[in-house]
């Protein structure tokens, strides 16, 4: 792999703009090369032809003989090259409005009068700009981590004092705080690091701190709302455990940021070395040494704060959070990269070269296609779906199995999202807050979706075969239990406590679902509202779950007749409520975010979802009762909600439709190389939203299709729309993080100080 690609692959995605622009500098070097090649060709054209062998000898042949025994036979050549000064690289004082007085690095090219010297002057100007950008960014980030280290020091002082107070009350008496001779051996492990190693941690800090109240559980949220409880320390083990958990996570994130900075410094120094060597190779000059010496003497090359902080963070983490177990501590701070498993590739996607289109010819997909062919052949050859049987199947069996079809389609769209996020370096694992190394790649997602599709299609085929076989046809009730059994198996796998089937991902998903259910009692994070948005596109799946409960709960499965469910007014009312629930969850999440941040945008977002609720209720009532009045109400409310939602998708969620942008009607920054893809996505978003509205309002009738089939098609189109929305929504979030250089999560710290006093 060429260095340029390797350099880009190792960048922190959120800091990409802060790295040296290797590609641009490489292009400037290429311009120098092109000029020199043209110059050489022009000289060769005017050079007179050679007339025989010249007897003139090279002047070097008449110089003094250097000898065969000299240890430094080429020393004179080196001295001649060293005398040939090409550049003067230096640092000068510079006044900056934001940073004040600082060093600015500048290079003077001494051969600008040479032919093509203007290209080399331009190269060094670009080189200086990139180097100053890198140094300034690195200095800012180092100053930032130094301040964070000071904050963590203060937090650790308070944590150690709290640990002494809770676990060693006998050692917490005032007379023993600074008298290490009176502390027993069992207390010696609780110490303040560095200069205060010989002293027991002072408990005075506990008088000036408070425990930051957590609002991450429904119980704590209700207490904070109704009781306004004080966050004074109670000195109990629960407080100690909570503080330890927060500080441990803060240390992990802080260490990750330090490692990012260390790698940033190394990669950029390597990039400057590579580009200077490339310049020397093309120009036959000796400028690299002088420039690299300047880099080595700069803040980027001389600063060692990051390396020292990494050592101290590792030592403190191992001591205070891993009981001195270095192996455990380093595995936590430096998790190993996730290894690709070949069996996943075999079962899911034995992929040829992955280009713009994801081409998968895997084992499970082959099984799924084969099963689909067998099912279709069985239906046609045995004339299974006659008029009466077709209606019966579409009213009962089809809704039962289409539930799995919606899940598989959604997961396949998500697999496509993951593939393109990874391809265009959208840091989706960081945005979602996944534990490092546990995020699923697109192959893993395809493995799950294709495996589920195979099991579902096998169940459908078994259902058909049992219906057609005279020996098993009398066991109609047992045959109807196959879909229910499949739902139970999938549910048990989802909540399985054992470390199988990607347990960490399943747990993460279940936690997000619980947060959605308990809205607004949890602080709303991006994974929570992102998942709630997925549910708004899976209304038909939720209604199918309702059909499961009715169909099996009321015993309709015994006679394969859903008349009880379809004729029940209660069932129809609950169906409307179920359609509203996902949107209501989003309304509550927007309300919670509004009161936490006082952001008026969240109020408008909540109003958008509320308008959708009104439209869903109107459409559902019209589909059940019909009537011109209901049709007008449903059409008007759906139109308003569609316009509102489409605008929000394009402008707020995707950040597009900016007419003053560098890319007209798009964003200033785009990840995809072809801008027309964004316009196609916008048009598709509008069409798919309108298709949903028009179909529900019966603007287009399809007499050849059963009503449930038409509903499934429209629901599938909404899932596809959501899959497209997912990519651009996360792309916009990634670009926002890039704009603010947010590469690590901000972790709330456990302690706060009275009157902002940090002098503990």
d(CA 156, CA 316): 9
**What's the pLDDT score for residue 49?**
55
**What's the pLDDT score for residue 78?**
47
Mean pLDDT of 51-75: 47
**What's the pLDDT score for residue 681?**
95
Mean pLDDT of 744-759: 73
Mean pLDDT of 319-335: 88
The 10s digit of each residue's pLDDT in 227-246 is: 544 456 677 888 888 889 99
Half-sphere exposure of 442 (CA within 13 A, CB side): 19
C-alpha R_g of the chain: 34
Percent of the chain's residues with pLDDT above 90: 44
| CA-based nearest residue to 634, from 652, 651, 620 | 620
Mean pLDDT of 136-153: 93
Among the residue ranges 90-94, 119-123, 419-423, the one predicted with the least confidence is: 90-94
* pTM for the model: 0.81
**What's the pLDDT score for residue 462?**
86
Mean pLDDT of 446-464: 90
Confidence band (pLDDT; 50, 70, 90) for 163? confident
d(CA 457, CA 373): 10
Confidence band (pLDDT; 50, 70, 90) for 97? low
The answer to whether residues 441 and 422 touch, using CB atoms and an 8 Å cutoff, is yes
Higher per-residue confidence, 608 vs 692: 608
Half-sphere exposure of 443 (CA within 13 A, CB side): 18
Higher per-residue confidence, 316 vs 72: 316
Q: Examine the pLDDT at 442 and tell me if it is beyond 50.
A: yes
The answer to whether residues 411 and 726 touch, using CB atoms and an 8 Å cutoff, is no
The answer to whether residues 411 and 449 touch, using CB atoms and an 8 Å cutoff, is yes
> In degrees to the nearest 10, what's the CA dihedral of 402, 403, 404, 408?
90
Q: Examine the pLDDT at 588 and tell me if it is beyond 50.
A: yes
d(CA 654, CA 645): 12
Confidence band (pLDDT; 50, 70, 90) for 117? confident
Confidence band (pLDDT; 50, 70, 90) for 695? low
**Beta-bridge partners for 87:** 109
Domain ranges of the chain: 1-41+83-334
The answer to whether residues 140 and 147 touch, using CB atoms and an 8 Å cutoff, is no
**What's the pLDDT score for residue 667?**
92
Confidence band (pLDDT; 50, 70, 90) for 742? confident
Mean pLDDT of 734-743: 82
**What's the pLDDT score for residue 631?**
86
Higher per-residue confidence, 51 vs 113: 113
Tokens encoding 245: 């958990």
d(CA 108, CA 117): 12
Mean pLDDT of 724-739: 92
Element (H, E) at 719: helix 707-739
d(CA 142, CA 136): 10
Q: Examine the pLDDT at 131 and tell me if it is beyond 80.
A: yes
Most confidently modeled of 362-376, 465-479, 599-613?
599-613
Mean pLDDT of 733-755: 81
Chain CA centroid to CA 331, Å? 22
d(CA 650, CA 647): 5
Percent of the chain's residues with pLDDT above 70: 78
Mean pLDDT of 323-336: 86
Q: Examine the pLDDT at 359 and tell me if it is beyond 70.
A: no
d(CA 522, CA 639): 33
**What's the pLDDT score for residue 240?**
86
Sign of CA dihedral 51, 52, 57, 59: positive
d(CA 62, CA 419): 67
Mean pLDDT of 530-547: 95
State the average pLDDT for the chain: 81
Q: Examine the pLDDT at 52 and tell me if it is beyond 60.
A: no
Q: Examine the pLDDT at 508 and tell me if it is beyond 60.
A: yes
**What's the pLDDT score for residue 99?**
58
Q: Examine the pLDDT at 274 and tell me if it is beyond 50.
A: yes
The 10s digit of each residue's pLDDT in 423-433 is: 999 999 999 98
Confidence band (pLDDT; 50, 70, 90) for 45? low
d(CA 317, CA 251): 7
* Those residues with Cβ within 8 angstroms of residue 664's Cβ, 6 or more apart along the chain or in another chain: none
Q: Examine the pLDDT at 371 and tell me if it is beyond 90.
A: no
């Amino acid at each position: 792999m060429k260095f340029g690609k390797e350099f880009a692959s190792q960048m922190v995605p959120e800091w990409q703009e802060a790295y040296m622009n290797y590609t641009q500098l490489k292009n400037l070097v290429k311009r120098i090369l092109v000029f020199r090649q043209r110059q050489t060709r022009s000289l060769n054209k005017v050079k007179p032809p050679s007339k025989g062998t010249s007897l003139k000898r090279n002047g070097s042949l008449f110089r003094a003989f250097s000898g065969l025994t000299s240890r430094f036979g080429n020393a004179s050549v080196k001295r001649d090259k060293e005398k040939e000064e090409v550049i003067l690289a230096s640092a000068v004082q510079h006044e900056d409005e934001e940073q004040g007085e600082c060093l600015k690095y500048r290079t003077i090219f001494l051969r600008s009068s040479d032919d093509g010297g203007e290209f080399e002057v331009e190269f060094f100007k670009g080189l200086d700009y990139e180097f100053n950008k890198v140094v300034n960014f690195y200095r800012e980030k180092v100053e930032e981590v130094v301040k964070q280290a000071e904050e963590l020091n203060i937090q650790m002082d308070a944590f150690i004092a709290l640990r002494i107070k809770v676990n060693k009350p006998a050692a917490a008496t005032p007379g023993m705080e600074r008298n290490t001779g009176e502390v027993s051996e069992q207390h010696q492990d609780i110490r303040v690091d560095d200069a205060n190693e010989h002293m027991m941690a002072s408990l005075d800090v506990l008088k000036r701190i408070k425990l930051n109240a957590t609002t991450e559980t429904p119980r704590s949220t209700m207490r904070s709302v109704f009781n306004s409880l004080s966050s004074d320390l109670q000195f109990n083990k629960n407080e100690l455990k909570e503080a330890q958990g927060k500080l441990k996570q803060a240390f992990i994130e802080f260490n990750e940021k330090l490692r990012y900075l260390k790698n940033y410094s190394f990669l950029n120094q390597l990039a400057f070395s590579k580009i200077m060597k490339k310049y020397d190779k093309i120009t036959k000059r000796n400028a690299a040494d002088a420039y690299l010496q300047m880099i080595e003497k700069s803040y980027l090359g001389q600063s060692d704060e990051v390396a020292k902080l990494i050592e101290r963070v590792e030592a403190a983490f191992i001591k205070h959070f891993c009981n001195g177990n270095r192996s455990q501590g380093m595995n936590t701070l430096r998790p190993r990269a996730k290894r690709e498993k070949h069996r996943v590739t075999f079962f899911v996607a034995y992929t040829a070269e992955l280009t713009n289109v994801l081409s998968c010819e895997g084992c499970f997909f082959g099984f799924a296609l084969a099963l689909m062919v067998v099912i279709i052949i069985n239906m046609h050859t045995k004339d299974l779906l006659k008029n009466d049987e077709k209606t019966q199947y579409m009213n009962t069996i089809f809704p039962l199995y289409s539930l799995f079809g919606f899940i598989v389609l959604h997961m396949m769209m998500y697999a496509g999202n993951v593939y393109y996020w990874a391809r265009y370096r959208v840091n989706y694992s960081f945005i979602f807050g996944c534990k490092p190394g546990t995020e699923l790649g697109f192959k893993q997602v395809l493995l799950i979706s294709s495996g589920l599709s195979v099991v579902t299609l096998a169940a459908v085929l078994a259902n058909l075969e049992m219906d057609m076989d005279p020996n098993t046809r009398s066991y109609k009730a047992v045959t109807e239990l196959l879909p229910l059994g499949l739902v139970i198996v999938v549910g048990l796998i989802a909540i399985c406590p054992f470390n199988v089937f990607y347990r960490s991902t399943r747990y993460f998903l279940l936690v997000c679902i619980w947060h959605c259910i308990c809205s607004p009692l949890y602080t709303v994070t991006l994974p929570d509202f992102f998942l709630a948005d997925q549910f708004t596109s899976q209304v038909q799946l939720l209604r199918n779950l309702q059909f499961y409960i009715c169909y099996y709960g009321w015993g309709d499965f015994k006679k394969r007749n859903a008349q009880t469910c379809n004729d029940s007014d209660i069932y129809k009312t609950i169906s409307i409520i179920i359609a509203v629930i996902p949107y209501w969850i989003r309304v509550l999440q927007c309300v919670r975010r509004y009161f936490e941040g006082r952001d008026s945008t969240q109020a408008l977002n909540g109003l958008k979802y509320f308008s959708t609720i009104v439209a869903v209720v109107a459409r559902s009532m019209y589909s059940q009762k019909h009537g011109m009045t209901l049709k007008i109400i449903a059409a008007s409310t759906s139109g308003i909600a569609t316009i509102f939602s489409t605008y929000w998708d394009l402008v707020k969620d995707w950040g597009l439709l900016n007419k003053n942008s560098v890319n007209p009607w798009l964003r200033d920054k785009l990840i995809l190389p072809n801008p027309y893809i964004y316009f196609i996505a916008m048009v598709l978003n509008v069409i798919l939203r309108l298709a949903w509205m028009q179909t529900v309002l019966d603007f287009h009738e399809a007499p050849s299709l059963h009503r449930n089939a038409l509903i499934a098609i429209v629901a599938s189109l909404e899932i596809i729309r959501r899959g497209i929305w997912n990519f651009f929504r996360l792309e916009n979030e990634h670009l926002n993080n890039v704009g603010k250089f947010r590469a690590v999560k901000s972790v709330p710290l456990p302690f706060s100080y009275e009157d902002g006093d940090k002098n503990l």
